[in-house]
Chains A and B, each alone.
Chain A
Amino acid sequence: MDVLANSRVMDMAIDIKGDYNDSMDIIERYPREKRYTLAILQDIQRKYDFIPREVMVLMSDYLGMPISDIYSMATFYKALSLKPKGKYIIKLCNGTACHIRGSESIREELETILNISPGETTEDGLFSIEVVNCIGACALAPVMLINEKYYGGLTEEKVKAIIDGIKEGHR
């Protein structure tokens, strides 16, 4: 958000097409009805890993909705984010089953290894950490999801190996 939190973006937003060219294709898949706002936002999130400000303006025009309402939605729902996310999004489960089986120490380990807190992205743009509520895989507790892949029965050592593995594969 910080990179964009500047009013000049707002002014140029209307005619921006370049970077978010495809977003109109996503938006136009839905009828011009208010009830599709969340669905469009989710598709945009999936496409860009965040909700770009420019796209909110396009949506506001298309749906005939105030931009403040779209912003309100984008900040209310946890599945949506205003900040760009890393290439690998680590969703660490903090459901009750995971919590009492030690997800806290897994979080600490992730923070130490990646040197970021939950909600942040590493400088190289590779990893983001999110602490999420129960992903419904309690038998694997403590568990985390990295881009749709589950890693269960975590220990501090396992976490380190997993992250190292991803870094290695990326080199």
Chain B
Amino acid sequence: MNVKIDGKYYSGNKGETLLELARRNEIEIPSLCYKEGFEGLGRCRLCLVEVIEGNSTKTVSSCVYPIRDGIEVLTNTKNIVNMRKDIIFLLLLRTPNNGYIRKLAEEYGVKAPSRYLDMEREEDCILCGLCVKACEKLGTNAISLVNRGITKKVSTPYDDASKDCIGCGACAEVCPTNAISLVEQDGKRIIWNKTFDLISCTRCGKCYSTEEVLHHIDEQLGVKTQEYLCESCSRRLVGEKFKEAFQNLI
């Protein structure tokens, strides 16, 4: 499939979205709710582009738009840039103190007049929904999108410590605005109002994961891990074993 983006032709695969094609070819389209390996969500609207097909021009969000042969795409028209600015403006009103959004606003030269800005607002979440998707992919489903409209938020049921949360922190990992609080101290991890004991690596002693995560992995793989190893130790172990096997060979 041939797609013309900003004047150049690219060849795309069937089923690919416009944003995937662009990313593969290192064409810059901003986005907040897209993450490689996740399906497009179409929530943040920042990845808008113009698509020309035949006689019609339309604005689409590239993360969910399946490419079609022969379309022409413009990623940076004045209209598109202005809309992106408005979207950033709206996000800035929502999260006036968030570092990432403020940086983005600066990059795009978006200034919100002070009479519209409520600097008291302590909100960092832009409701991109990536955390919920990550939790779902792990099969834990501890958090979900609750309420609707302007009161929508991400939370565990009743904002309580959820029996389903394993404290893996995947949600915090994928969050584009660092909105999910994950605190680690004194061998404990606190996330989503739940406190977990951290397991330390049997080799180096570094705290690296929660017991619930390790159980979850065992359950998913159907095995029982004998030794708890942190990432670097387990990598080192694999290396040692390989070396050993190699030496035995000669």
| Bound Cα distance from A72 to B144, whole angstroms | 6
- Give the residues in chain A near B159, CB-CB below 8 Å: 5
CB neighbours (8 Å) of B157 from chain A are 53, 56, 67-68, 71
Contacts of A68 in B (CB 8 A): 141-144, 156-157, 162, 164
Chain A residues within an 8 Å CB radius of B147 = 75-76
Q: How far is the CA of A69 from the CA of B141 in the complex (A)?
A: 8
CB-defined interface of B146-171 with A at 8 Å, one 1/0 digit per residue?
11100000001111111110000000
- Scoring B residues 4 to 32 as 1 if CB is less than 8 Å from chain A, else 0, what string do you get? 00000000000000000000000000000
- A55 CB to closest chain B CB (Å) equals 13
Flag if B148 contacts A76 (CB, 8 Å). yes
Size range of the chain A interface in the assembly: 10 to 19
**CB of A4 within 8 A of chain B?**
yes
Known contacts A5-B159, A56-B157, A75 near B164 by CB under 8 Å: no
A4 to B158, CA, bound (A): 9
Q: Which residues of A contact B160 (CB under 8 A)?
A: 5-7, 10
Mark contacts of A52-84 with chain B using CB atoms, 8 A cut-off: 1 yes-contact digit, 0 otherwise: 010010000000001111011001100000000
Q: Answer whether residue B71 sits at the interface, using C-beta atoms and an 8 A cutoff.
A: no
Interface presence of A1 (CB below 8 A)? yes
CA distance A92 to B80 in the complex (A): 43
Is A67 a contact partner of B164 (Cβ separation < 8 A)?
A: yes
Asked if B145 lies at the interface with its beta carbon under 8 angstroms from chain A, I say yes
Say how far B168's CB is from chain A's closest CB, in angstroms: 15
A1-16 CB mask vs B (1 if < 8 Å, else 0) is: 1001111001000000
Among A6, A7, A56, A68, max chain B CB count under 10 A is at A68
Question: What CA separation (Å) do A35 and B164 show in the bound complex?
Answer: 22
B146, B158, B161, B164: the one within 8 Å of A66 (CB): B164
- Contacting residues of chain A (15-39) with chain B, CB-CB under 8 angstroms: none
Question: Contacting A1 at CB < 8 Å: which of B141, B142, B158?
Answer: B158
Q: How far is the CB of A38 from chain B (nearest CB, A)?
A: 14
Cβ contact within 8 Å between A71 and B146: yes
- Write out the residue numbers on chain A whose beta carbons fall within 8 Å of the beta carbon of B148: 75-76
Q: Report the bound CA distance from A76 to B163 in whole Å.
A: 22
Given the complex, which residues of B lie within 8 Å of A75, measured CB to CB?
146-148
A71 CA to B154 CA, complexed, in Å:
11
CB distance from B239 to the nearest CB of A (A): 39
Q: Give Cα A114 to B89, complex, Å.
A: 41
Contacts of B143 in A (CB 8 A): 68
**B residues at A contact (CB < 8 Å):** 141-148, 156-164
Known: A7-B160, A75-B146. 8 other contacts (CB 8 A): A10-B158, A10-B163, A67-B157, A67-B162, A68-B144, A68-B157, A71-B144, A72-B145
